[in-house]
Amino acid sequence: MIPFLALVRKDLLLFFGDRKAVVVGILVPIVLASFFGYLFGGQKGSAEMSKVPLLVVDQDGSDISRGLIAQLAGDKNLDVKPATLDDARESVRKGKATATIVIPKDFGKDAGRALFTAASKPQLDILYDPSHNVELGMVKGILAGAVMQTVSKEMFTGSGGREMVDESLAHVEADSQLPADVRKPLRDLLSSVKELNERQDERRTSGASGQAEVSGGLTMPYETHEEAITSGQNVEYNGYAHAFAGMGVQFILFMGLDVGIALLTLRQTGLWQRLRAAPLSRTMLLGSRTVSASLMAGFILAVLFTFARVVFGVRILGSFAGFVGVCAAFSLMTAAFGLMVAALGETPEATRGYSIMATLFMVMLGGAWVPTFIFPAWLQKLTVVIPTRWAMDGLDAMTWRGLGFSSALTPIVVLLFFALLFGGVAVTRFRWSVEG
Amino acid sequence: MLEVKDITKRYGPLVAVSDVSFRVDRGETIGLLGPNGAGKTTTVSIIAGLLSADSGEVLIEGNQVKSDTDPVKLKIGLVPQDMALYDQLTARDNLTFFAALYSLAGAKAKHAIDDVLNLVALSDRANHKVGTFSGGMKRRLNLAAALLHDPQILLLDEPTVGVDPQSRNAIFENLETLKKRGKTLIYTTHYMEEAERLCDRIVIIDHGKVIANDTLQALHQLLPVTNIIAVELDLVDGFKPEQMLALPGVKSAELKQNTLRVGVHDLSREAPGVLRWLAENGHCFHHVSSEQPDLETVFLTLTGRSLRDS
């Protein structure tokens, strides 16, 4: 036991002895996690989302186009500004605006006509930045609702709408092509709209009160209530929890990599000869390194989450035992990963390159940078073979999702399986001989 | 104490050592002498259990090292050629760690550490980080780390590489102290003067094979000459050294600048005749001295190559 403890103690002394490396090794993930946490939701989800910059070119100048612009400007997700067509194109090209909506001349008149008859529909041009496809979908959705509300309101209550109804009635009467079974209901509909408008006018003239005025136009027939499903009621999502888990996973993997490279370097030195000359078993030599690397990983995770708790209010809302279990299993997996790197590598220099690449793939596909739900469906299925995916799922489950210990069990078991797999490869492939 | 029997080690087509055999008695110091790449380090690595031989065996007091944790390994202390220390730790922390590898802790470890620090004269630097040490101090600490568990056999793989003459001398003094304490030393080097100063017996290895294994005196006997008479002549015009080969007992004669070197077997018997011949033939001289051929000459004689050029 004395040699084992001495080996672990020595590794820890060397790790903590290099204070600059320790500080940088902890500071960098904290800075990055703080940044990513802010981007992906911020503290308790209260950070204001940036609005989509949208330009509107109004070539119509009608009540409907003005109403449409006002409707768009009232949306909390949009930052609407008027522009000329040339300026708008330039702004989108330079990335200053995400999209531009061009309202063509006679849009109001044509849209109103198209609402009741088979007249051709006017076209709204949307000029957009192709790097903002997601926002484009959102803009189109908001635009559809705004157009329907504005046009229908004008048709039912506006002066332009009355003219349009009269015109449409005349058109229906004059259209000899219109089948009789269509003509009658269409005439009835337009006559009813006309009558409704006349009654509204009478009420306004007589100053009648006490009765609700019929709201003009079509409105959305529903309202939404949004509720973030987190660990409990009134517990808001904290984006920093995922960010700190992600950066912790990334930097601990890099630490595991360093452990492997250091072992490869050690094999080329007299220190390795001295260790091998001592009466120490191979299990003890690799086992002690596994324990020390796991302790270092656990330390880094503890510091990161303590910082996240104190500064950003990240809490372990799920099972604390589950959280510790996931951290421990991931730390062990990382240590085994480092040993595998040492076992498979030829020289430190050659190994560093490909193992950094492998680590970055694991980090990226494991969802440490961005959550895996952003990935395509096939990639989400594929990433279950990546151990970091399980670490991230486990840490998310135990922090902001606030799930119980049972939700940590699968990640723990999978991570331990990977630890065994990597450890097995390390033990069987490690080159013990010292070349003379 | 230690017996190396017919060990062979190959790396693919390269034969690093081939049928190497020698034995070392308790308290004896032997030098493994040979050029770089001769197979010295491979031999030491096999003895220390760092490498397994393809064939042959190493017996330590009649026992083979059978596993990584075999207690037989406790009888061996290894001083690797490369510095085997942690620069970031203090000398005492380094020694505490290496002592623990041999299950030494507490008072036993402290006693052992104080003892070896005293031996290598580094007690006053015990709490300094090794990174601040000079090359010579590191070499001494490297030696000390191998002595903590008080091994009977000490394997020293070129322990003076890269140190200044003063530090080298200090290490020699440490090793001479260990010899006096009855330790068995196996010392690899390609420096002749080190082997000549320290070793009771010398095993010369070349291309992985033992080409000589004997005491220094016995190795000298392998040479065509065992003594050289060096004479500084006043005038050398017209002097032909090969004329001297006709003298009884003279084995070689060569002239470089104004120094004549005459090789003989028996100095006391041949020297008067050589000097008399010079005087009688009008070759005045102002200085006479005698030299013994060194191991370099032995190696040259045995292999046909200079040791340092190999």
- Statement to judge: residues B156 and B68 lie in one domain: yes
Across the interface, of B73, B93, B142, the residue whose CB is closest to A279 is B73
Q: In the predicted model, what is the mean pLDDT of residues A254-277?
A: 89
Nearest chain A CA: its distance from B184 CA (Å): 17
Amino acid at A188: D
d(CA B65, CA A406): 50
- Statement to judge: residues B152 and B250 lie in one domain: no
Question: Residues of B with CB below 8 A from A9's CB?
Answer: 97
Please say which residue of B168, B202, B220 terminates a domain.
B220
Q: What is the pLDDT of residues A106-126, one digit of tens each?
A: 888 888 777 766 667 889 999
- Statement to judge: residues B158 and B237 lie in one domain: no
Predicted confidence (pLDDT) at residue A201 exceeds the cutoff of 80: no
> Has residue B113 been placed in a domain?
no
In the prediction, which pLDDT does A436 show? 46
Question: Would you call A279 and B71 a contact, using CB atoms and an 8 Å cutoff?
Answer: yes
Q: Residues A216, A156: contact at Cβ < 8 Å?
A: yes
Question: Would you call B51 and A433 a contact, using CB atoms and an 8 Å cutoff?
Answer: yes
d(CA B209, CA B8): 9
In the prediction, which pLDDT does A233 show? 66
Question: Residues of B with CB below 8 A from A277's CB?
Answer: 48-50, 73, 76-78
Q: Residues A93, A131: contact at Cβ < 8 Å?
A: no
**DSSP-based three-state secondary structure for A346:** coil
Q: Residue for token digits 């392998």?
A: B222
In the prediction, which pLDDT does B25 show? 92
In the prediction, which pLDDT does A127 show? 92
Q: What is the DSSP letter of B12?
A: T
Q: What is the pLDDT along chain B (310 residues), one digit of tens a residue?
A: 899 999 999 988 889 999 999 999 999 999 998 888 888 889 999 999 888 899 999 999 888 888 888 899 999 999 998 899 999 999 999 999 999 999 999 999 999 999 999 999 999 999 999 999 998 999 999 999 999 999 999 999 988 888 888 888 888 999 999 999 999 999 998 777 888 888 999 999 988 999 889 988 888 777 777 788 999 988 767 788 888 888 988 888 888 888 898 988 888 899 999 999 998 888 888 899 988 777 777 777 777 766 655 5
CA-based nearest residue in chain A for residue B47: A277
d(CA A210, CA B217): 132
Please say which residue of B186, B220, B254 terminates a domain.
B220
Predicted confidence (pLDDT) at residue A3 exceeds the cutoff of 50: yes
Question: Residues of A with CB below 8 A from B49's CB?
Answer: 276-277
Amino acid at A365: L
**DSSP-based three-state secondary structure for A289:** helix
Predicted confidence (pLDDT) at residue A185 exceeds the cutoff of 50: yes
Q: What is the pLDDT of residues A327-386, one digit of tens each?
A: 999 999 999 999 998 888 888 888 888 888 888 999 999 888 887 777 888 888 888 899
Please say which residue of B174, B191, B220 terminates a domain.
B220
In the prediction, which pLDDT does A202 show? 78
| Residue B43: closest CA among B65, B17, B14 | B17
- Statement to judge: residues B71 and B9 lie in one domain: yes
> Has residue B69 been placed in a domain?
yes
Q: Is A6 on the interface with B (CB under 8 A)?
A: yes
DSSP-H helix ranges across chain B: 40-48, 91-101, 106-119, 135-145, 165-180, 192-198, 216-221, 267-280, 295-303
Q: Residue for token digits 């240590």?
A: A335
- Statement to judge: residues B160 and B68 lie in one domain: yes
Lowest-confidence segment of A25-39, A258-272, B227-241 by average pLDDT:
B227-241
Per cent of chain A over pLDDT 70 is 90
- Statement to judge: residues B281 and B145 lie in one domain: no
Q: Check: pTM over 0.80? Answer yes or no.
A: no
Question: Would you call B43 and A436 a contact, using CB atoms and an 8 Å cutoff?
Answer: yes
d(CA A229, CA A240): 16
B219-254 burial, b for 16+ CB within 10 Å, e for fewer?
A: bbeebebbbbbebebeeeeebebeebeeeebbbebe
Question: Would you call A433 and B102 a contact, using CB atoms and an 8 Å cutoff?
Answer: no
Across the interface, of B16, B74, B76, the residue whose CB is closest to A436 is B16
CA-based nearest residue in chain A for residue B104: A2
> Has residue B181 been placed in a domain?
yes
Predicted confidence (pLDDT) at residue A43 exceeds the cutoff of 60: no
The tokens of A342 are what? 């040492």
Q: Residues A240, A314: contact at Cβ < 8 Å?
A: yes
**DSSP-based three-state secondary structure for A216:** coil
d(CA A172, CA A151): 20
Nearest chain B CA: its distance from A392 CA (Å): 35
d(CA B213, CA B201): 7
In the prediction, which pLDDT does B111 show? 95
Tally of structural domains, chain B: 2
Q: Looking at residue B47, which CATH number applies to its domain?
A: 3.40.50.300
d(CA A317, CA A247): 19
In the prediction, which pLDDT does A216 show? 60
Question: Residues of B with CB below 8 A from A275's CB?
Answer: 101
In the prediction, which pLDDT does A18 show? 87
- Statement to judge: residues B163 and B235 lie in one domain: no
Q: Residues A264, A68: contact at Cβ < 8 Å?
A: no
The tokens of B191 are what? 């420096």
Q: Residue for token digits 């490279």?
A: A261
Q: Residues B177, B144: contact at Cβ < 8 Å?
A: no
Which strands, in side-by-side order, build the sheet including B153-157?
Answer: B76-79, B153-157, B184-189, B29-33, B201-206, B209-214
> Has residue B117 been placed in a domain?
no
Residues forming a β-bridge with B22: B4
Structural domain harbouring B281: 227-292
Question: Residues of B with CB below 8 A from A269's CB?
Answer: 82-84
Q: Residue for token digits 């091998």?
A: A276
B117 Cβ neighbours under 8 A, 6+ residues apart: B91, B92, B95, B123, B126, B144
In the prediction, which pLDDT does A208 show? 59
Who has greater pLDDT, A205 or A99? Answer: A99
> Has residue B82 been placed in a domain?
yes
> Has residue B305 been placed in a domain?
no
d(CA A405, CA A319): 5
In the prediction, which pLDDT does A166 show? 82
Residue A380, Cβ neighbours under 10 Å: how many? 15
In the prediction, which pLDDT does A45 show? 47
Nearest chain B CA: its distance from A366 CA (Å): 36
The tokens of A273 are what? 């000869």
Q: What's chain A's average pLDDT?
A: 85
- Statement to judge: residues B141 and B267 lie in one domain: no
Q: Looking at residue B250, which CATH number applies to its domain?
A: 3.30.70
Size of interface A-B (CB pairs under 8 A): 104
Q: Is A278 on the interface with B (CB under 8 A)?
A: yes
- Statement to judge: residues B83 and B192 lie in one domain: yes
- Statement to judge: residues B260 and B198 lie in one domain: no
> Has residue B99 been placed in a domain?
no
Question: Would you call B145 and A274 a contact, using CB atoms and an 8 Å cutoff?
Answer: yes
Residue A303, Cβ neighbours under 10 Å: how many? 17
Nearest chain B CA: its distance from A3 CA (Å): 5
d(CA A169, CA A429): 87
Q: Is A385 on the interface with B (CB under 8 A)?
A: no
> Has residue B101 been placed in a domain?
no
- Residue of A4, A5, A15, A273 to mutate for B, most B C-beta atoms under 10 A: A273
- Statement to judge: residues B211 and B234 lie in one domain: no
Nearest chain A CA: its distance from B86 CA (Å): 8
The tokens of A90 are what? 């330039």
Q: What is the DSSP letter of A401?
A: S
- Residue of A9, A10, A275 to mutate for B, most B C-beta atoms under 10 A: A10
- Statement to judge: residues B138 and B234 lie in one domain: no
Q: What is the pLDDT of residues A387-404, one digit of tens each?
A: 999 999 999 899 888 889
Question: Residues of A with CB below 8 A from B39's CB?
Answer: 436
